[in-house]
Amino acid sequence: MSTAVAAPSRLWQGLTGWWSGLRRSSSEGLPVSGANWSTANSVRVFDQALVWVTVALLAWGLVMVYSASIAMPDNPKFARYAHTHFLTRHLFSLVVAVVAALIAFQIPITTWEKMAPWLFVISLVLLMAVLIPFIGKGVNGARRWISLGVMNFQPSELAKFAMLLYAADYMVRKMDVKEKFFKAVVPMGVAVAVVGLLLLAEPDMGAFMVIAVIAMGILFLGGVNARMFFVIAAILVVAFGLMIALSEWRRERIFAYLNPWDEKHALGKGYQLSHSLIAIGRGEIFGVGLGGSVEKLHWLPEAHTDFLLAVIGEEFGLIGVLSVIGLFLWMTRRIMHIGRQAIALDRVFAGLVAQGVGIWMGFQAFINMGVNLGALPTKGLTLPLMSYGGSAILINLVALAVVLRIDFESRQLMHGGRL
C-alpha cells in the first residue's frame, strides 16, 4: 500500500520539478552545455512574442481575405471561380511562405551578407524579365508578374528584400568613407535609380517608393552625414514630384484624392477611395460584424488586396482598425529593438538588416492604412502579412525569419555562445 502511494507522489514531484526547470530555463535564455533534453528544448531562443504577433496578423488576414472575396464569383468577371478560390490560393501561399521562412531561419546572417550582392543582381534580372512579352504577365495595364504555374511571382517584392540586404552590406563596406558624399552615397543612388527605372516601366511607383525609403533609412541608420541625408531626401521628393507632374493619370489621382466626391472623380480615379471611406464610415465603433460588409459586394474594387483594411473597418469598426494599427506599431518597434541590440553587439550588418525590415514593414503598412483612411492618395500597396498576394506573403515571412535569426544569434552571443 505504501509503495502504491509513494509512486504517484514521486511522479508528482518529478512533474513539478520538470515544470520548475522549464520556467527557469525560459527566463534564462539559451541552454548551457550539459542541460537535460527537456530543459534545452523549452528555452526561448528567439523572440516568441514577435512570432505570435506575426501569426495573429496572418490568421486575421486569412479570415479577412475569405470574407472580402467570398462574393466575387457572383461577378461575371470571376464567374468561373469557386467562392473559396482566393482563400485556397492564399492558404497555399501561406504554407509555401512558412516553409520558406523555416529554411531562411536556418541560414546564418554571415551567409546572407555574402549573398546580398548576388540577390540584388538576381532581382534586377527578374525586373528586366517581367518586361519581356510572353514572360511578364500583365493585369489592368501593369506588367508586374511572372507566372510560375501554381502561383504568380512579383519580382518587385524580391527587389525590396534584395535592396535591403544590399544597402546594409554596402554601408558596412563603406563605413570608412561614409562622410564623403560621392564615395558613400552616389553608388547607392545609382543602384536605387536603376531599380526605380525598371519599376516605373512596369509601372509600379508604390514599390519604388518603398525601396527608396528602405535605402534612405539604412543610409541614415548606417551613419551617413545628416546634410547628405537631407540632400538625398530633397532629390527624392523633387523626383517623385516630377513623376506626378509629368504623368496625366498620376495628376488625376492626386486631384481625385483631394476631392473624391466630385462628380468628375466619383466614378473615376476617386471611386475606390470614396467607397473605402463609405465602408469605414459604415463600421462606426464596433463594426457590422464579420461577413456583414456591403462594400465588398462588388462596390469596392480590390477589397481583398489593397483595400482589405476598409473591409476590416466596416466589419470590425474603429476597434478593429485600431487593433491592426497597434499590432503593426508593436511589430515595427520590436524589430527596430532587435536591430539596435545587434548593433550594440557590434553586428552592424545584422542590425541594419533588422532595422531595414522594420522600416519596410512600418512604412508600407503606414501607406496602405493612409490610403484606406483617405489620408494619402491611392497607391497600389498591399497591407503586409494580411492582404491577398503570394509573393508579398512569401518575401515578408522570409524577411521576418531573417530578423528572428538575427535575434537568435544575438541571444547566443549574450549568453557566451559563438556563431
Q: Are 12 and 153 contained in the same domain?
A: no
Is residue 194 pLDDT above 50, yes or no?
yes
Query: Half-sphere exposure of 65 toward its Cβ, with a 13 Å CA cutoff?
Result: 28
30 in any annotated domain: no
pLDDT tens digit string along 359-381? 999 999 999 999 999 888 888 78
CB 211 within 8 A of CB 195: yes
73 in any annotated domain: yes
254 in any annotated domain: yes
Q: Are 8 and 51 contained in the same domain?
A: no
419 in any annotated domain: no
Q: Are 292 and 329 contained in the same domain?
A: yes
Q: Are 256 and 227 contained in the same domain?
A: yes
Averaging pLDDT over each range in 10-14, 71-75, 177-181, 306-310, which range is the top one?
A: 306-310
CB 209 within 8 A of CB 379: yes
Q: Are 398 and 345 contained in the same domain?
A: yes
As for how many domains the chain has, the answer is 2
pLDDT tens digit string along 258-305? 888 877 777 778 888 899 999 999 999 999 999 999 999 888 888 899
Q: Are 39 and 64 contained in the same domain?
A: no
Q: Which residues span the domain enclosing 39?
A: 1-25+35-43
Structure confidence at residue 417 as a pLDDT band (50, 70, 90): low
Q: Are 10 and 88 contained in the same domain?
A: no
Q: Are 13 and 65 contained in the same domain?
A: no
Q: Are 157 and 141 contained in the same domain?
A: yes
Q: Are 39 and 55 contained in the same domain?
A: no
pLDDT recorded at residue 419: 64
Q: Are 17 and 87 contained in the same domain?
A: no
Q: Are 39 and 104 contained in the same domain?
A: no
pTM for this one? 0.85
